[in-house]
Structure 1
Amino acid sequence: MSAHSPLSYRHGDLVCTDHSLDVPLDHDAPGGPRIEVFAREVTAAGREHEDLPRLLWLQGGPGGRAERPNAAGAWLRRALDDYRVVLLDQRGTGRSTPADRTTLARFGEDSAAAAGYLAHFRADSIVRDAELLRRRLQGDEPWSVLGQSFGGFATLTYLGLAPEGIAQAYITGGLPTLTGHADDVYRAAYARVLAHNERFFARYPADQRIADAVAAHLAEHDVRMPTGERLTVRRFQTLGIMFGTSAKFDSLHYLLETAFTQGVKGPALTDTFLRGVDAAVSFAERPLYAALHEPIYAQGCRATDWSAHRVRREFPAFDAGAQGPLRFTGEMVYPWQFDEDPALVPLREAAGHLAARADWPALYDLDRLAANTVPVVAAVYQDDMYVDREQSLATAAAVRGLRTWVTPTYAHDGVRADRAVLDRLIAMAREAG
């Protein structure tokens, strides 16, 4: 491992220090290719010289860069009351060595090699990166970890892989099934997405007519987004990903109200609407999210085999060609998206290899989790669209000493929306200690 000299600077009332280090692509082959991992350490101004403990923020995703200080959620200000916060750009994202259509082009036609490369970007590799960073910053001293969504998945991997590195763990909306197949995840997810559709159209009943009209228009016309690619009905349906957070739930309503204008040949979709759709459905800024969305659930000898695509057939309500009102899908990723999204087209064959792989290593050490001694507290959102409540509670029961707070008050982004969420978890951890 090699490290680069840290750079410190002021950002308003925050002091930021940038860290980067070179790590092995494959931690089991340290002499092989290397990549760079970046992290930004944030401290409240005036406290930068205090001996504060560190808190590692593990972002949701997969394939999402860490929040930036100027756009971080409410949790950051609460965390800075007690910690130095380390914002890790998980490998492949942000200022860490990127993994996207540009960098993966070096594999040329060797899609199997590209898939082999991408297989090193799951939670187990992220955790081992974090351990190298922790030792670089503070030696053997453990730090605390806050895992949001997929970051919570990675936290459970961390507790099994290197529990000595964690002083205490906070998890928000991020307790996955430890043993279930991707089919189990998506089967439960489709039912939740339908419930969120019902909630949305109950709040905005006039939007059903608009959504149906947009779908009919797309089925009859070759509509191009400002970026040039065609907007299909099935891609329009993926706007349901917006239902899962309080910050975006209502955004779909305000997008739909801009949908139509009167064109030369009759009703036409507006550029405002099409630009908004593109911003919501494009994977240009997060290609790893699409490529790894199912592999983050893959363990053992059973392939995911495009699970969300297969399981969708069990839910005919999402069939846009059938009679009945249009229903939006959620965060599911489908093989056809690698044909329709220009950011994903170059990754299509590699994604196919990942979907077919049937020899994934385990992500969770069940024995270690059952014998866990690290204080762990978790917020479980009762109506979370992205992470199933019952699967979360089953996982909580499998981790020794894990304490849960089940709340109906917040959506999946609760920790970003209200500092009271992290405040509650910190209080729970102190009570347990």
Structure 2
Amino acid sequence: MTSYRQPGVVLTDHRFTVPLDHSDPSGERIELYGREVVASGKADAGLPWLVYLEGGPGCAARRFVGQQAWLGRALKEFRVLLLDQRGTGLSTPADRQTLPLRGGPQDQAAYLAHFRADSIVRDCETIRPGLTGGAPWTLLGQSFGGFCATHYLSTAPEGLATVVITGGLPSLDATADEVYRAAYPRIARKVEGHYARYPQDIGRARRIAEHLAEHRVVLPTGYTLTPEAFQSLGILLGGGDGSHQLHYLLENAFVPTPGGQALSDTFQEGVASALSYAGRPLYAVLHEAIYAQDDRATAWAAERVRAEFARFDAAKTLAGEGPLYFTGETIHPWHFDADPALRPLREAAELLAARTDWAPLYDTARLAANEVPVAAAVYHDDMYVDTDHSLSTARAIRGLRTWVTDEYEHDGVRASGPRVLDRLLALARGED
């Protein structure tokens, strides 16, 4: 283990090996990376552990500097483990560069089927005893990390002292189709809210989409920017400052050139940064699989359900007069054509979309008998996770306390500094 310092904290790198398939503990093993963080002056204190599970799927734990965001609040009483979930960050990587080592698309898809919440929770339970001495730990789950926390409560509650969930209470039984059928109206409200704030962006968005419909645009990164890909910038609207980010991106779209108006390098660079999945390919490959737990294929649910909402059809919009509607946290087959980081994974993604033997993720009887203190922030009209689904699940988990708020968007635990975590810990402890 290697320890080092940042302002106000001591960091220690941990590496663990765990089975790829926990049902075959003597089989292939993969590596996990976790970054331990403790407040300066408390490195030798016997503090309880808090493990943080990032949103996603497929996102590494956030790289904090010092005591940023919620971390400062956590370090007042915990030793924190920022875990890079399997396949992400410094854990054994799973991406276009490494997955060909597995073999062809069939082998890659079979490998990636082990990267859902069930495996992540088994990973946590494998490494916990060695870190905590066997004591249960507190879990903070953001977004998809909350999905993992809900599975944890379903399968290994003995490993949990307290659970805090932010923007991540999943439906216990909704299919992927039902998730997206609920999502598109929320996305539409976020788009309408953006245009109400920045009405000048209505014309700008249409003009950009028209340009993309008439010209083949390949960004410097190799990303093919189609009207549909441009629409997916709406994923920004789920964050607290996302509307403003989108506005500043759109206002700088065009520059005059000897050949006429063209998309500016500044705009193209910003779009490439916002849309590329190079740093988190599993987010795209496994996104719909996180909802799968029956014998039904997800079968590109977001793409199929989008056809039920005509306002999101870019071609129809450009043929008429209405505003262009951005999409949000939706993954489509064309992502695997547009994004060079995803193109080599297209066949594996197709196989995962067709898979029909996913294991159940949640045990409703066990959740109904829950004894672990749990508190959850439910963000009113969260673009990423349906509020009604979250509240239904909250009622199904015995003893869970909710804080429903419209003060923050999906990124509230980061945007609020210490406030969201502080409030939820108090709720879980019956102090609020």
TM-score computed with the length of structure 2 as normaliser: 0.97
**Which residue number corresponds to residue 153 of structure 1?**
147
CA deviations over 1:46-95 (Å, ceiling 9, x no partner): 11111111101010000000011228751111111111111000000000
Task: Supply the distance in 2 between the matched residues of 1:180 and 1:72 (Cα, whole angstroms).
Answer: 37
How far is 1:265 from its partner? 2.1
Question: Deviations for 1:114-168, whole angstroms, at most 9, x for unmatched residues?
Answer: 1010000000100111111111112321000000000000000011111000001
Q: Name the counterpart of 2:223.
A: 229
**How many residues get paired?**
427
Aligned amino acid, residue 25 of structure 1: L
**SS where residue 18 of structure 1 aligns?**
strand
Percent identity between the two aligned chains: 59
Q: Return the alpha-carbon distance in structure 2 between the equivalents of residues 25 and 72 of structure 1.
A: 33
Look up the match of 2:429: 430
Mapped contact 2:169–2:394 kept (Cα < 8 A): yes
Distance 1:426 1:90, change over 3 A: same
AA aligned to 1:7 is: T
Mapping of 1:188-267 within 5 angstroms? 188-267=182-261
- In structure 1, the residue matched to 2:369 is 371
1:249 deviates by: 2.6
SS at match of 2:111: helix
Q: 1:162 aligns with which of 150, 156, 159?
A: 156
Q: What is the DSSP-based 3-state SS (H/G/I as helix, E as strand, rest coil) of the residue aligned with 1:218? A: helix
Q: For residues 201 and 301 of structure 2, what CA distance do their matches in structure 1 show?
A: 30
Which residue of the other structure, out of 20, 29, 34, is the alignment partner of 2:24? 29
The Cα shift of 1:408 comes to 1.1
Q: How does 1:375-414 map to 2 (within 5 A)?
A: 375-414=373-412
Report the residue type matching 2:406 in the other structure: P
Residues 1:343 and 1:355: Cα distance change in structure 2 (over 3 Å): same
Contact (CA 8 Å) 2:49, 2:132: kept in 1 or not?
no
Q: Distance in 2 between matches of 1:345 and 1:142?
A: 42
Cα distance in 2 for residues equivalent to 1:201 and 1:376: 37
1:71–1:228 distance in 2 versus 1, CA, 3 Å: farther
**Paired position in structure 1 for 2:360:** 362
Of residues 67, 74, 77 in structure 1, which corresponds to 2:72?
A: 77
RMSD (Å) for aligned C-alpha atoms: 1.2
Distance (Å, rounded) in 2 between the aligned partners of 1:432 and 1:80: 19
Q: Deviations over 1:94-116 (max 9, x none)?
A: 000000001101234x2111101
1:24-423 equivalences in 2 (<5 Å): 24-70=19-65, 74-108=69-103, 110-322=104-316, 323=320, 324-418=322-416, 419-423=418-422
2: CA distance, partners of 1:211 / 1:151: 33
**Uncovered stretches (5+) of structure 1, i.e. residues with no partner:** 1-5
CA distance in 2, matches of 1:279, 1:304: 28
Q: Name the CA distance, whole Å, in 2 between partners of 1:361 and 1:309.
A: 24
Letter in 2 for 1:337: H
SS of the aligned residue for 2:70 comes to helix
What SS does the aligned partner of 1:290 have? Answer: helix
Q: State whether residues 143 and 167 of structure 2, in contact with CA within 8 Å, keep that contact through their aligned partners in structure 1.
A: yes
Deviation at 1:237, TM superposition (A): 0.5
Matched position secondary structure for 2:252: coil
The answer as to whether partners of 2:48 and 2:132 remain within 8 angstroms in 1 is: no
Q: Secondary structure at the match of 2:217?
A: coil
What is the rounded CA distance, in whole Å, between the counterparts of 1:69 and 1:250 in structure 2? Answer: 23
Residues 412 and 167 of structure 1: is their aligned pair in 2 closer, same or farther, counting only changes over 3 Å?
Answer: same
Q: Gapped runs of 5+ residues in structure 2?
A: none
Distance (Å, rounded) in 2 between the aligned partners of 1:99 and 1:362:
24
In the aligned structure 1, how far is the partner of 2:219 from the partner of 2:108? 29
Is contact 1:375–1:432 with CA below 8 Å preserved after alignment? no
Determine the C-alpha separation between the residues in 2 that align with 1:267 and 1:211. Answer: 15
Q: TM-score, length-normalised on structure 1? A: 0.97
Any conservation in 1 of the 2:223–2:272 contact (CA below 8 Å)?
A: no
8 Å Cα contact 2:13/2:33 also seen in 1:
yes
- In structure 1, the residue corresponding to 2:224 is in which secondary structure? coil
Q: Quick check: 1:43–1:84 contact (8 Å CA) kept in 2?
A: yes
Are the aligned partners of 2:139 and 2:164 in contact in 1 as well (CA < 8 Å)?
yes
Question: Against the structure 1 CA distance between its residues 354 and 127, is the aligned structure 2 distance closer, same or farther, given a 3 Å change threshold?
Answer: same
Distance 2:222 2:282 in 1: 22
Which residue matches 1:3?
none
What SS does structure 2 have at the residue aligned with 1:250? Answer: helix
SS at match of 1:333: coil
- Alpha-carbon contact 2:6-2:66 (below 8 Å) kept: no
Q: For 1:190, what is the secondary structure of its paired residue?
A: helix
For the residues of structure 1 that align with 2:248 and 2:117, how far apart are their CA atoms?
A: 36
- Which residue identity does 1:8 align to in structure 2? S
**1:226-273 Cα distance to aligned partner (Å, 9 max, x none):** 123321111011000000001323101000111011111221110000
CA contact (8 A) 1:73 1:415 kept: no
| 8 Å Cα contact 2:56/2:145 also seen in 1 | yes
Report the Cα distance in structure 2 between the residues aligned to 1:305 and 1:48, rounded to whole angstroms. 49
**What do residues 404-424 of structure 1 show as CA deviations (whole Å, max 9, x unaligned)?**
111111100001011211111
Secondary structure at the aligned position of 1:284 is classed as: coil
Q: Is the 8 A contact 1:58 1:66 kept in 2?
A: yes
Q: Does the CA contact (< 8 Å) of 1:73 and 1:417 recur in 2? A: no
Give 4+ residue runs of structure 1 displaced > 4 Å after superposition. Answer: none
Counterpart-to-counterpart distance in 1, 2:314 and 2:67: 37
Give distance in 2, aligned partners of 1:165 and 1:306.
35
